[in-house]
């Protein structure tokens, strides 16, 4: 659960994952002088601050845990601005993290799960909105009017205000015009979620596991759903979710690609993912449920130039 805050946690440096030389180099991070640099990738930043071994591991786990992306592609200033702020303000990520902790500013994050799942949240919103909620309306276009907005699709909806809650690439197709061309530049990492369930106790207690860069697996990580949220599985059963994404060498999805070409689990059998999860857990699963959900185009990637892209949208 703490993997997402690894760079701000000195406890990582006591982990057996790193050798003594790598630990010594990482511990010397406060001695690394801060100099103003051009926009860096997450990988470049982590290696510069924590050394080659610890830095490459930190960058990989952060990129995987948050974006299912590539640390050599993500902009550290856009994806993890707090790390850049700590370096600029305190001259060191570790020194800044410890200062925040002593001052009480740093708050330990916790995972929260809706009782009854996300469907319960949707049902509650539906009851609140009543007949104002319109579903199964596939929008095909959006344009501004004198009084606000007009959405066309399975009819016409007029509104004073409009919120586009879909991805930038989809929004680009709906809006068109100049801003559509800017939005279409977004890139995303396609992700598939493989749900694995079966009878028996949870194979491992905890929140989840992130897979390191040397494992050569399609599985980037797993969440132990029924361990931290028992209501997600029947009593006496377990539920695990595997996050599957393309290999590092494979391209990101974007407006100029066919989403069908970017399905992360394409060519990978569910049984293969189950075997990978068994290796990660060190346990035999024998699942009775395997279900795959593809998220396309996927998780937006805050690549180098992302801040300028946001400014262009504004």
Tell me the per-residue pLDDT of 208-242, one tens digit each, with 9 for 90 and over: 999 988 888 889 999 999 998 888 899 999 999 99
Supply the pLDDT for residue 204.
87
User: Whole-number mean pLDDT of the chain?
Assistant: 85
| Lowest mean pLDDT, pick from 56-70, 107-121, 260-274 | 260-274
Percentage of the chain lying above the pLDDT 70 cut? 86
pLDDT exceeds 80 at position 293: yes
pLDDT exceeds 70 at position 299: yes
Mean pLDDT to the nearest integer, 142-170: 90
Condensed to tens digits (0 to 9), the pLDDT of residues 186-205 reads: 888 889 999 999 999 998 88
Supply the pLDDT for residue 13.
63
pLDDT band for 179, please (50, 70, 90 cuts).
confident
Supply the pLDDT for residue 86.
93
Give 276 or 107, the one with higher predicted confidence.
Answer: 276
pLDDT exceeds 50 at position 11: yes
Cβ neighbours for 246, distance < 8 A, ≥ 6 positions apart:
189, 190, 262, 264
Q: Which sign, positive or negative, has the C-alpha torsion 113, 115, 117, 120? A: negative
């Amino acid at each position: 659960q703490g993997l997402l805050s690894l760079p701000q946690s000195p406890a990582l440096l006591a982990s057996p994952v790193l050798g003594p030389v790598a630990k010594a180099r990482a511990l010397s991070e406060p001695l690394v002088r801060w100099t103003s640099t051009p926009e860096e990738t997450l990988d470049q930043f982590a290696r510069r601050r924590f050394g080659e071994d610890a830095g490459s591991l930190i960058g990989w786990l952060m990129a995987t845990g948050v974006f299912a992306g590539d640390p050599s592609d993500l902009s550290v200033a856009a994806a993890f601005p707090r790390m850049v702020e700590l370096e600029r303000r305190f001259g060191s990520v570790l020194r800044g993290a410890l200062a925040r902790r002593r001052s009480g500013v740093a708050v330990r994050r916790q995972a929260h799960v809706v009782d009854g799942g996300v469907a319960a949240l949707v049902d509650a919103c539906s009851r609140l909105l009543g007949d104002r909620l319109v579903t199964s309306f596939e929008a095909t276009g959006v344009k501004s009017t004198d009084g606000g907005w007009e959405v066309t699709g399975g009819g016409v909806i007029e509104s004073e205000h409009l919120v586009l809650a879909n991805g930038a690439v989809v929004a680009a197709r709906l809006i068109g015009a100049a801003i559509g061309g800017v939005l279409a530049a977004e890139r995303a990492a396609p992700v598939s979620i493989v749900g694995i369930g079966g009878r028996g106790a949870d194979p491992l207690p905890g929140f989840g596991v992130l897979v390191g860069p040397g494992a050569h697996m399609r599985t980037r990580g797993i969440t132990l759903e029924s361990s931290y949220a028992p209501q997600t599985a029947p009593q006496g059963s377990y539920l695990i979710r595997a996050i599957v994404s393309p290999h590092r060498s494979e391209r990101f999805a974007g407006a100029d690609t066919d989403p069908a070409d970017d399905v992360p689990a394409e060519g990978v059998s569910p049984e293969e993912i189950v075997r990978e999860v068994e290796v990660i857990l060190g346990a035999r699963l024998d699942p009775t449920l395997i279900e795959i959900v593809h998220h396309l185009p996927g998780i937006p990637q805050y690549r180098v130039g992302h801040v300028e892209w946001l400014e262009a949208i504004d």
